[in-house]
Amino acid sequence: MNKIEHIGIAVSSIESSGNIYQKLLNTEVYKIEEVASEGVKTAFLQSGPNIIELLEATNPDSPIAKFIAKRGEGIHHIAFDVTDIRVEMERLKAEGFILLNDEPKRGADNKLVCFVHPKSTNGVLVELCQSV
Ligand code: ZN
Average pLDDT, the chain: 96
CA distance between the termini of the chain: 16
Q: Which of 3-12, 15-24, 55-64, 108-117 has the lowest mean pLDDT?
A: 108-117
pLDDT computed for residue 82 by the predictor = 97
* CA 22–ligand 1 middle distance (angstroms): 18
Query: Are 21 and 45 within 8 A, CB to CB?
Result: yes
Q: How far apart are CA 76 and CA 71, in angstroms?
A: 10
For residue range 69-128, what is the model confidence (pLDDT) as tens digits? 999 999 999 999 999 999 999 999 999 999 999 999 988 888 999 999 999 999 999 999
* CA 6–ligand 1 middle distance (angstroms): 6
- Tell me which H or E stretch contains 19: helix 14-25
* CA 128–ligand 1 middle distance (angstroms): 8
Collect residues with CB below 5 Å from ion ligand 1.
8, 53, 79, 127
pLDDT computed for residue 102 by the predictor = 94
For residue range 47-60, what is the model confidence (pLDDT) as tens digits? 999 999 999 999 99
